[in-house]
Structure 1
Amino acid sequence: MSGESLQENFIVVGCGAVGLDLLATVAAFPKPDQKIRSTSFKTQGGGNTGNALTCAARLGLKPRIISKVADDTQGRSILDEFQADGVDTSFIVVSKEGTSPFTYIIVDNQTKSRTCLHTPGFPPMKPDDLPESSILSALNGARIAYLDGRLHETALVVAHEAVKKNIPILMDAERLREGLDDLLKVVDYVVCAAQFPQAWTKAATVPKALISMLLSLPKIKFVIVTLGKDGCIMLERSANEVPSTEEMDVDKLLESLETRKNGSVCIPTCISSSVTKLRAEGIGTICGRLYIGTAENIPPSELIDTTGAGDAFSGAVLYAICANFAPEKMLCFAANVAAAKCRALGARSGLPHRTDQRLASFMQ
């Protein structure tokens, strides 16, 4: 599929968090009551949906974003940055009063970890802020919708309209949030943070939790859990029943896939099972396929900042769904995009464009 047709036809609509990130790098994270100096500083757009849609725009999709900012310096900066990246801001509500969301981010140069202090925007977004006609206009012609679990009341309105129009929905489930369960019931795909599946299901292991999620949420086609430098695990529901009655314990299957990983390979790879009946003791069985995706082994000298790596991964998954990538290709592609992001400070500086040579093999 050519870049022109992707840009022309594939509209993605996102509803969720946008903001401004104030990023300071430090030699080491400060102790209580300690005064230290930053080694570098950057102001840049942020927010899960803002980052994921910026990633999607650079990869060739046409994003439209539903969110809210205030008519202040931060809000204007947020809008300007989106517009420079080709993200349609027509559906962002601009409040004449209040403050735009912003986040202080401290990046530890020693551990490469980041600590975030978020200040939500005020007044918060409500469904009444955006007329139903505007939501329908935003979804007109969309190939896929994206939700990050924030602005849950507005997101649910968007989700229900997307369902009516048969527009599939990808959701980023970072943590337990108000209204999240209602959103999960109507989405088609989920990308979640490492702790989420067990926190949501109370299952003993991640693989068991993934089976529990697919059993609880019959509409979901696949769920991916991102594990940082340890890559990701994906469980894909199979549309067809397996002829064999034999069941495979999902934890044991994951262990067997892990043994097939090649630790000497630096570039992202993907290992998968065949379609089988997967059993989670005490939870149930699902007919599906399990995948392990590895992350790129980034040299310490090149690893700058992990802020927004999960958002970059989600943005790449949006592109992969639109481009009909096979799951193995999708997971490797998303890992490459996330790794590129980690080589620069902030959630967006390192996001690659579709012409980036590191993505050339995926874009052919």
Structure 2
Amino acid sequence: MLNIRSSKMATLGQLLPTGSGAVLNSRTLLPSPFPSLTTTRVKMSIPATQASIVLPENRIILGCGSVGVDFLAAVASYPNPDDKIRSTSFQVQGGGNTGNALTCAARLGLTPRVISKVSNDSQGKGILEELEADGVDSSFIVVSDGGNSPFTYIIVDNQTKTRTCIHTPGYPPMIPTDLSQSNLFSSLDGAKLVYFDGRLHETAAVVAEEANRRGIPILIDAERKREGLDHLLSFASYVVCSTKFPQEWTEASSIPSALLSMLLRLPKVKFVIVTLGEDGCLMLQRTEMDNLDPEERDVDDLFEKLNQKKDTNATSPACISSNVAKLHAKGIGTISGKLLVGTAESIPQTELVDTTGAGDAFIGAVLYSICANMPPEKMLPFAAQVAAIKCRALGARAGLPHYTDPRLTPFLV
């Protein structure tokens, strides 16, 4: 195997999975396919100027996890068994949770590096080219001789706005010995933050242990239970979860109680966020014991009170925060912290195209927010805005905004 470097390659718009029967012409480059209770609401009328945007001083982050190729076919409605239908549109883009989140972070102004593995096939070459084009350092990606790079078929239902994914893992899989000690050390040098999507768990464990030894904060994407995830979570400073994960992992009766249980079980974690799709997100932040509300608050009751504060007529993302208090979950325990409810943008149905990768976009924005020392009250609406912008285009990356996008200026100036 060799550690990457490629020169001129075909764009992803030309690539099809091995065995598809397509003929590739590597000399013909196609155009890129992706040219008290308080409420915080960001005013969206602030004028945008690139010069006024101040990027974080330390912008280097490292991600370890999946990269791949997504083959996206939009259809009028999802087919029944034995149906033969036509797509209404088709795109080929880079994919994989880590690849998507780091691409988002790069467009927001960070300097990401990525540890992963691809094959030296046409898909692998395209994966590397696209990451580099977006400013993601791919020099720590391992390229194997033979095998196949990861790819996913994604069917987007135009009627229900849902997507169905059929994933083919890369082969051979990445193992810890693929990553030399010198590359491990170099990848972490100067890093402000390390991100894991829960895949490549054996290699991820090695990277997490070294990051922990150096005192570099770690963010974990807890999408679902995976082999090795519990070990990774033991190093976490921050956790972002899918909707179902907190209750599946803790067996708590409600999401707020599950978040509290996670903070009790993971003493290093500063905050945990659960994304809730069109219902926004919920964050539980651990805080110091000073200036506590003297009364112990039931975390489920507090969640309901915060929800009642939502402005149902608002279209832009907002954050409703509790005061710092002793938060209690029956049968679980008590922590010092505050609960924050983040709302999602209300996207007109005519503008909603595809939710593929919305969670990755959210995480990319959270990575930026941590590097920029954004307070949670600003972080949650910002991440929701980035995810909403992404949903206006097909695929995980085509709609990802750059930091100069005027829709983001209120959060960045």
Question: TM-score, with normalisation over the residues of structure 1?
Answer: 0.98
Report if the CA contact (8 A) 2:58-2:371 is conserved.
Answer: no
Residue 75 and residue 4 in structure 1: after superposition, are their counterparts in 2 closer, same or farther (change >3 A)? farther
1:133 deviates by 1.3
1:128 to 2:169 alignment: no
Once the two structures are superposed, what CA deviation does each residue of 1:43-82 show, in whole Å capped at 9, x if it has no partner? 0000000000000000000000000000001000100100
State the alpha-carbon separation in 1 of the partners of residues 110 and 86 from structure 2.
Answer: 40
Q: 1:21 aligns with which of 70, 84, 104?
A: 70
2:234 alignment counterpart? 185
Where does the alignment leave 5 or more consecutive residues of structure 1 unmatched?
Answer: none
1:285 alignment counterpart? 334
1:246 deviates by 2.2
1:142 to 2:191 alignment: yes
Report if the CA contact (8 A) 2:65-2:115 is conserved.
Answer: yes
State the alpha-carbon separation in 2 of the partners of residues 236 and 337 from structure 1.
Answer: 21
1:81 alignment counterpart? 130
1:240 deviates by 2.3
> What is the identity, as a one-letter code, of the residue corresponding to 1:322?
C
2:99 alignment counterpart? 50
2:114 alignment counterpart? 65
Where does the alignment leave 5 or more consecutive residues of structure 2 unmatched?
Answer: 1-50
Report if the CA contact (8 A) 2:54-2:412 is conserved.
Answer: no
Query: Larger Rg: 1 or 2?
Result: 2
What is the aligned-residue identity percentage? 66
State the alpha-carbon separation in 1 of the partners of residues 257 and 166 from structure 2.
Answer: 32
Q: 1:217 aligns with which of 257, 266, 277?
A: 266
1:245 deviates by 4.5
3-state secondary structure, aligned to 1:234 = strand
1:5 deviates by 5.5
1:3 deviates by 5.7
1:271 alignment counterpart? 320
Report if the CA contact (8 A) 1:3-1:60 is conserved.
Answer: no
Q: Which runs of 4+ in 1 moved over 4 A?
A: 1-5, 241-245
Report if the CA contact (8 A) 1:13-1:142 is conserved.
Answer: yes
| Alignment length (residue pairs) | 363
> What is the identity, as a one-letter code, of the residue corresponding to 2:250?
T
Once the two structures are superposed, what CA deviation does each residue of 1:246-272 show, in whole Å capped at 9, x if it has no partner? 211111000000100000000000001
2:157 alignment counterpart? 108
Q: 1:303 aligns with which of 338, 342, 352?
A: 352
3-state secondary structure, aligned to 1:94 = strand
2:223 alignment counterpart? 174
Give RMSD over aligned pairs. Answer: 1.2
1:200 deviates by 0.3
1:350 alignment counterpart? 399
State the alpha-carbon separation in 1 of the partners of residues 235 and 215 from structure 2.
Answer: 11
Q: 1:317 aligns with which of 366, 380, 403?
A: 366
1:253 alignment counterpart? 302
3-state secondary structure, aligned to 2:411 = coil
Report if the CA contact (8 A) 1:242-1:277 is conserved.
Answer: no
Once the two structures are superposed, what CA deviation does each residue of 1:296-334 show, in whole Å capped at 9, x if it has no partner? 000000000000000000000000000010101000100
State the alpha-carbon separation in 2 of the partners of residues 244 and 47 from structure 1.
Answer: 43
